[in-house]
Amino acid sequence: MSRYYTRVCNFYYGNQSKSLVRNKKSIPLHHLNEISFDQIEIISRKSKKKISISQIKNLSKSLKSKINFDLKKIRLRKKNFSNLDFQNIPNILGVLNLTPDSFSDGGKFNTKKKALKHAIYLINSGAKLVDVGGESTRPGSKAIKENLEWKRISKFLKKNNKKIPLSLDTRKSSIMEKGIKLGVKLINDVSGLSFDKKTIDVLKRYKIPFVIQHSLDVPEKMQKNPRYKNELLDIYDFFEKKIKLLRSKGIDHNNIILDPGIGFGKNLKHNMSLLQNISIFHSLGFPILVGNSRKRFIKELSENNDSKSRIGGSIASTIFLMMQGVQILRIHDVNEVIQSIKVFKKIINN
């Protein structure tokens, strides 16, 4: 029997969305009247078909039951956690790499003074959280020892003293535990909780919110001819299995964020498929995070117009992802991206 997936589509935004919701012509996403949809795409590994929400009643009993089950999760209001506001999206997660070798800003903020100054700047610019990392996981990078990673971030975490809301970008359970004790509000593990076997135990013990990111293999190997049967559905299934595993281990809270991992074991085709169909992940029932900022796909799409900062591509993809209801975006250029979001919202609502 075919397995079916529900992707909501044909979104409306702002005042137009509110009007359609009021007249019951579109369905609000996560109880947000300012973003709604009036179509769904029913996807299997052999087919896909778009229908209007008014046509759902004409489906077979089993398929209608499946679609309505997914829609219940898609409509449900998201509860806030970790300083994130799911009634006002997108939330911006500012990037602070305390590394000498990250792909776009390595070495730029790797002193305590520079790091704190930039973290304050990111928050003042509108970031809800600052994502701090001491190990580069860019394609081709190698894992570093735990003591070196902790050395890079510990002084900053202690100096911050819970003043600035932070998430911690790490794959190592011991780093997570130390960071939690110093007040970090969110764990962001790019390995999808797979790198360190003790990670799930730490997350369970402290009941802290966390991000599950999809990544194909480790950074040293992930970009060497990545392959999927169907990248969109394979990654959906990965999240579903991971959530089932976490429930079996006793993690029963819903303060979990899903990140499809743009650029982590994906070529341009895979990245484009994920970005264009990102709304499929709403039917899993958890907030979505996308790291679109300064990524390689911007260079590949813009070709001769690529720039070192890639702010233009970051902004363009941000607006698109916002229109697909993505709740969190991981961004380097926080001030410029939030400026673009504010201007877009003002224009579309006038």
- DSSP output for 98-134: -SS--TTTTTSS-SHHHHHHHHHHHHHHT-SEEEEES
Domains of the chain and CATH, by start: 5-75 (no CATH), 91-348 (3.20.20.20)
Tens-digit pLDDT profile for residues 297-332: 999 999 999 988 899 999 999 999 999 999 999 999
Structure tokens at 350: 């006038």
* Residue 180, SS3 per DSSP: helix
Tell the burial category of 204 from Cβ atoms under 10 Å away from its Cβ (0-12, 13-18, 19+).
Answer: middle
Q: How far apart are CA 77 and CA 296, in angstroms?
A: 34
Which residues are known catalytic residues? Answer: 295, 330
Tens-digit pLDDT profile for residues 34-91: 999 999 999 999 999 999 999 999 999 999 999 999 999 999 999 999 999 999 999 9
* Residue 45, SS3 per DSSP: coil
Question: Mean pLDDT in the chain?
Answer: 93
Quickly count: other Cβ atoms within 10 Å of residue 103's Cβ: 17
Tell the burial category of 44 from Cβ atoms under 10 Å away from its Cβ (0-12, 13-18, 19+).
Answer: middle
Q: How far apart are CA 72 and CA 198, in angstroms?
A: 34
The pLDDT of residue 107 is above 70: no
